[in-house]
Structure 1
Amino acid sequence: MRSRYWGIVSLLLPLAATAQSGGSALPGRTPVNATDSIVVQQMYFEGMRKKTIEDLKGAGDMFARVLQLDAGNDAAMYQLSGLKKLQNDPTSARELLEKAVSIKPDNEWYWLALADSYEKSNDMPRLQRVLDELLRLGPGKPDYYFDKANAYYVEQKYNDALAVYDKLEQMTGLTDDLVANRQKVYLKLGNIDKAASELQGLIDRNPDQIRYYLLLGEIYNSNKFPDKALSILLKGEKARPDNGMVHLALAETYRSKNEIEASFKQLELAFASPDLDIDQKVRIVLGYMPRMGDPNAKASALRLSRILTTVHPNEAKAFAIYGDILAQSGNYKEAREAYKRSVQINGEIYQVHEQLVRLELADNALDEAIKDGDNALSLFPNQAWMNYMVGVAYLQKREAPKALSYLKNTVALQFDDKDLSAQAYAALGDCYHELKDNGRSDEAYTRSLTFNPDNAYTLNNYAYYLSIRGEELEKAAVMSKHSIDLQPNTASFEDTYAWILFRQKKYAEAKEWMEKALVHNKDKATQVEHYGDILFHLGDTEAALQNWKKAKQLGAASPLLDRKINEKKYFE
């Protein structure tokens, strides 16, 4: 139903409609006297005042008291009906309206409200009778004809609906609304030729009106006549070659015919149209996202999103989606540039800032990550992830005091994201370790592991820092071994475990795990030096010396390495 205007019926009625009914009463009732009439008016307007200030209960009480004194007061019935509707009591609302129209059968507002009630309850027979009354009161109002035809449509009385539309056409001529509604009926009747013929007539009379080509093309496409759709849409393209919607419709038609190359060419033409809504273009590009593993889909998405930035150079979302596609394609440098352009155009979209800084961190562009991260935080200071990423960038630059403030902000802001909490506390552990605050470092690592006890990197770092301090070695060994179980064949984790075993004087086991680490990363200077330390304690001084020398060649720079080499002895 076309109930777009029925929502206004609960507002104040025109003055003539709200006036007292002249002492009217229901059959068998005694009319109200003059004194009561004055009281009724006062109560009615008090009810209207309460309704205006949204005291709905008080208003309802007033209208009910009006009806106690004047049972035939149709205006009070109407107002009380509206309140019952708001209170989810549709039955009482409908009964009040039925009484109101019986008293004032020429009040159009009452009939409109009753029509709305019948439509909501899907009572089509009663709705049809109400619509007849509305047509009696407003014979020149096209909306009532549309409503009556739609009611017939709902009842599947398609020929009756067509008869109403024919009558309406005599009044208004052939309008777009009339054509669109009549098309639905023709299609329900399976009369595709009739639907097409009417639209073709509109095209013949209005060859520049592209919407008629699109409607006819859609009818043919939806009813599996792609060749007919293609024929009419190509005529539309000839009439308006710059119309993006025609190119989109042609792209879909070619796709249905499995002519992929022709379909994509039409998509390109559609994207090249500045008049085609950018949001529609963005939705099309996003449709490629799940298929980015397919090289053809990736290439198509890149091509379309690149066109998007050319045709819409001042739209931030164009560059944002281009950045997303570039990032999905592994073109991180270009993606960063696209995201930068997006935030320059419109810095109010936080997600784009975050994508930009994430890529900068991944590329180890630490200064840029800090600069762009601080810019984002000037606009969005309470974003926990952004605080975390800037903190990590400073930490990787070995600027622990600066990192500390951002990481503290992160844990203060974050409440629900356990993954972020785990990572933030782990980074705080690293930060405090750099600042030689072992107590706070251990506390931070412990907090991190309460959020994620299986974070292999946190387990490894915490275990390693305990081992170099020679503290809680049993706890360190358990954590280190767990990190290896979670992420096998990781050289740095195996090195940590070997070093803990070394500190526990379990030299044979330490040798076994250090050799595994060297298999997975044979040229890591620190691991080679540690291997020499282990060999020395196993009594193989010559092999230890060779590994110490090799570690020095690889760049190891521990303060005691030269002394180990010169004196052929382990120093701690």
Structure 2
Amino acid sequence: MSFSYAQKTPKKDKTTPKTAQLQTGAADEYFMDGVRYALTDDHKKALSAFEQSLKINPKNAAAHYKMAEILLQQERYEAAIGHAREALALDKENQWYYMVLAEAQLRSGNSADAAATVEGMMSRSGAAPHNYLKLAQIYLQLNQTDKALTALNKAEKELGIDEGIVELKQRLYLSQNKLADALAEGEKLVAHYPTESSYALRQARLLLNVERYADAQKYLQTYLEKHPQDAEANYLLAKAYEAQQQPRQASEYLIKAFASPELDIQIKLQEMARLIPQLAQRPELEGSLEQMAATIREAHPADAQAYAISGDLAIARNQKQQARASYLQALQQEENNFEVWQNVLTLGLELGRYDSVAREADQALMLFPNQAALYYFSGAANLSLDKFDEAAMALEQGKRLAAANKQLISIFNSHLGDAYNGLKRYDLSDAAYEAALAFDPNNAYILNNYSYYLALRGDKLPLALEMSKKLVAQHPTNPNYLDTHAWVLYRLGKFDQALPHLQNALKEAAGNDDGTILEHYGDVLFRLGRVDEALQQWKKALTKPGVSAQLEKKIKDRKLYE
């Protein structure tokens, strides 16, 4: 008996050519939909469309790549890496697939994997040579300097000598303390591009940065033989001389550099700002600095900063009038400089230009209406002009704007005390002084004015005495403060106690006798019965400023008038 085995008939593939064609078409439609959605940044719909495409055709490398791109943008790095790997598995020749994988690996912190990916790409023929730069950057992240240099050398071999490559190689050589190699790279760039001056100057800067000052000097001198007007070269040569302690040559080349409008004015201003504070210890700089300032003005006649730096120099030389004139010239070029306005107004007060300051403060307030300091200048100037109403209005406005600055409020209050005293609004004057003293109880200006005005009024004399005592205890050699204390004692009828303070005041004035002090001295002598001596002091006072309207009558009648 024999057995026969029935063979199992294979199951037929139900996918007909027509069905396969339909599926391929559907996959392509989903893919194109995904591309369209991606172009409009509708990433949710794009991902959904690409997923549908891959369900139908999982071997579509482009769909995996597009999904990796979107997932990378969404910072879903692991998912992006997965799809990028799928794309590469299907097409190992496409550089875009390598790069999206490397980028995802980099962003996920896998720099070593990213390096391996780019290495794999570069090992294949046809890889774009600029990708060696990407590889070098990755090696740098891995602190693999030698590999980075190798990649850069390969890039340079393919792309030619390039500024960016040379600069990066120089940085790497310097990080390895390979100064000679770094300098050689710079020389190579200069030799290859002999007409590109920026490369030669960069080489000079490198020599300066590595403190090869003598080499930098020789290099620049040779360069300047062919380019004598090059402003930056002259500037760098000045720095080389300065570093070698040769100030005369440094100044010479700085002036040459400053004469060129091509050199950025900010560089010139920085140099001036660095040198001006040295003037006190190095007076020999004065002539050079003045020449530099003039050169900057000539090179940049329409730039306000050129005049402002001249003002700064004049301040350092204690030339206040010249400084103020320079700052005013700066404002003619550019009026919207608050700091320059402050300098102008401060100097105006110091020089006693009260009319000008009052006018200029109003001009500045048109530009900076919310700057409290400008109201201070307006108030102080009008106060000095005895325009008490204008002063009080300005000071009150400034005080409101200075609400968050307690120190500035105290300053406003101290001057408001003066203004309201001038207006005979003594309640407001006293309140302002008290508020100022509450913040700064030892302020000499406030103690002096408040106690003196109280003495003139004959009001709150015990308080005035307390303040004037504190004043002279803190400032025993100030003639004006000694006079204030003496006058408080005088108003209290303590003539014998007032006398020595006035004598000390005149002694401390040392020939710069003040008419007020001399007149007060005469008044005290008269009260003590020393009429002839009083008359002598009154006559001296008559030749000085600051005396009372009754002084001539006192002398004529040999009588005290108050």
2: distance between equivalents of 1:185 and 1:113?
27
RMSD across aligned positions (CA): 3.7
Equivalent residue number for residue 405 of structure 1? 393
**Within the alignment, does 1:547 sit opposite 2:534 as a pair?**
no
Whose Rg is larger?
Answer: 2
1:244 to 228, 231, 248: 231
Cα displacement (A) at 1:63: 8.0
- Change in Cα spacing, 1:477 to 1:276, as seen in structure 2 (3 Å) is same
Matched, 1:172 2:134: no
Match of 1:149 in 2: 136
Paired residue secondary structure (1:292) = helix
Corresponding residue number in structure 1 for 2:351: 363
1:113-132 alignment runs, 5 A limit: 123-132=110-119
Match for 2:248 among 249, 261, 265?
261
Per-residue displacement from partner, 1:68-103 (whole Å, max 9, x unpaired)? 9x99996677656545x5xxxxxxx43333234234
1:499 to 487, 497, 500: 487
Correspondence for 2:410 among 422, 433, 438 = 422
Residues of 2 paired with 1:111 and 1:525: CA distance?
Answer: 93
Distance 1:549 1:190, change over 3 A: closer
Equivalent residue number for residue 217 of structure 1: 204
Shift of 1:493: 1.1
- In structure 2, the CA distance between the partners of 1:318 and 1:560, relative to structure 1 (3 Å rule), is closer
Gaps of 5+ in 2: 1-22
Distance of 1:302 and 1:330 partners within structure 2: 13
Summarize the alignment of residues 504-515 of structure 1 with structure 2, pairs less than 5 Å apart. 504-515=492-503
Matches of 2:364 and 2:105, distance apart in 1: 54
- Of stretches 429-438 and 157-166 in structure 1, the one that deviates more from structure 2 is 157-166
Residue identity opposite 2:326 in structure 1? A
TM-superposition CA deviations, 1:426-457 (whole Å, max 9, x none): 11111111111111111111222233222211
Aligned-pair distance for 1:48?
Answer: 7.7
Q: Which amino acid aligns with 1:281?
A: K
Q: Does 1:458 align with 2:458?
A: no
Tell me what 2:428 maps to.
440
Equivalence map 1:17-28=2 (5 Å): none
CA contact (8 A) 1:533 1:570 kept: yes
For the 8 Å contact 1:115–1:131, the answer to whether it is kept is: yes
8 A contact 1:210–1:240 mirrored in 2? no
Tell which deviates more after alignment, 525-534 or 560-569: 560-569
Alignment of 1:290-329 (within 5 A): 290-294=277-281, 295-329=283-317
Corresponding residue of 2:16: none
Q: Distance in 1 between matches of 2:372 and 2:545?
A: 38
Tell me the CA shift for residue 337 of structure 1.
Answer: 2.0
Checking the alignment, whether the CA contact within 8 Å between 1:477 and 1:497 is kept in structure 2 is yes
Using the TM superposition, give the Cα deviation of residue 158 of structure 1 relative to its aligned residue in structure 2, in angstroms.
3.6
503, 525, 543: which one pairs with 2:515? 525
Q: Deviations over 1:179-198 (max 9, x none)?
A: 21222233344444444344
CA distance in 2, matches of 1:142, 1:402: 76
Per the alignment, do residues 154 and 520 of structure 1 end up closer, same or farther by CA in structure 2, a change over 3 Å counting? same
Q: Secondary structure of the equivalent of 2:418?
A: helix
Counterpart in 1 of 2:318?
A: 330
Distance 1:566 1:212, change over 3 A: closer
Which range moves more in the overlay, 164-173 or 554-563? 554-563
Is it true that 1:274 corresponds to 2:261 in the alignment? yes
When residues 370 and 491 of structure 1 are mapped into structure 2, their CA distance, relative to the original with a 3 A threshold, is same
- Please tell me whether the aligned partners of residues 494 and 514 of structure 1 are also in contact (alpha carbons under 8 angstroms): yes
User: Does the CA contact (< 8 Å) of 2:495 and 2:528 recur in 1?
Assistant: yes
Report the Cα offset of residue 229 of structure 1: 2.4
Corresponding residue number in structure 2 for 1:55: none
Q: What is the SS of the residue equivalent to 2:190?
A: helix
Q: CA deviation at 1:115?
A: 5.0
Kindly provide the amino acid, as one letter, of the partner of residue 461 in structure 1: N
Q: Specify the alignment match of 1:13 in structure 2.
A: none
Query: Deviation at 1:559?
Result: 4.9
Amino acid at match of 2:80: L
Counterpart-to-counterpart distance in 1, 2:277 and 2:103: 44
Shift of 1:553: 5.3
Distance change in 2, residues 1:157/1:46 (3 Å): closer
Contact 1:251 1:267 in 2 (8 A): yes
1:534 is the counterpart of 2:524: yes
Q: Distance in 1 between matches of 2:104 and 2:274?
A: 41
Percent identity over paired residues: 29
Q: CA deviation at 1:549?
A: 4.3
Residue 393 of structure 1 and its aligned partner are, at CA, apart by 1.1
Which residue type is aligned with residue 311 of structure 1? A
Count of aligned residue pairs for this structure pair? 520
What does 1:52-71 correspond to in 2, within 5 Å?
Answer: none
> Structure 1: how far apart are the matches of 2:519 and 2:125?
98
Of 476, 495, 511, the residue aligned with 2:464 is 476
1:458-507 deviations in Å (ceiling 9; x for gaps): 11111111111111111111112222233331111111111111222223
Offset at residue 398 of structure 1 (A) = 1.4
Deviations 1:34-65 (A, max 9, x none): 99x99xx89x96998788xxxxxxx89x989x
- Residues 152, 297 of structure 1: alpha-carbon distance in 2 compared, 3 angstrom cutoff: farther
Q: CA deviation at 1:408?
A: 1.8
TM-score, with length taken from structure 2:
0.81
The structure 2 residue matched to 1:391, chosen from 361, 376, 379, is 379
- Choose which of 206, 224, 232 in structure 1 pairs with 2:193: 206
TM-score with structure 1 setting the length: 0.80
Cα distance in 2 for residues equivalent to 1:305 and 1:142: 51
Tell me if structure 1 keeps the 8 A contact 2:81–2:104: no
Provide the residue aligned with 1:10 in structure 2. Answer: none
Q: Which amino acid aligns with 1:537?
A: R
| Structure 1 counterpart of 2:80, from 93, 97, 100 | 97
Aligned to 2:280, the other structure's residue is in SS state coil
Instruction: Give 2:426's aligned amino acid.
Output: N
Which residue in the other structure is 1:4 paired with?
none
Give the match for residue 487 of structure 1. Answer: 475
Q: Contact conserved, 1:336 with 1:359, CA < 8 A, in 2?
A: yes
Measured after TM superposition, the shift of residue 119 of structure 1 is 5.0
Contact kept in structure 1, 2:277 and 2:316, CA below 8 Å: no
RCO (CA 8 Å, sep 6+): is it higher in 1 or 2?
A: 1
Counterpart of 2:330?
342
The answer on whether the counterparts of 2:121 and 2:127 sit within 8 Å (CA) in structure 1 is no
- C-alpha separation in 2, matches of 1:256 and 1:565: 70
SS across alignment from 1:287: helix
1:487–1:78 Cα change, 3 Å: farther
For 2:110 and 2:285, how far apart are their aligned partners in 1?
A: 50
Instruction: Tell me the secondary structure at the aligned position of residue 288 of structure 1.
Output: helix
The unaligned stretches of length 5 or more in structure 1 are 1-30, 52-58, 86-92
Give the deviation of 1:403 after TM superposition: 1.9
Judge which range, 161-170 or 121-130, deviates more.
Answer: 121-130
Q: Could you say if the C-alpha distance between residues 46 and 115 of structure 1 is closer, same or farther in structure 2, counting changes exceeding 3 Å? A: closer
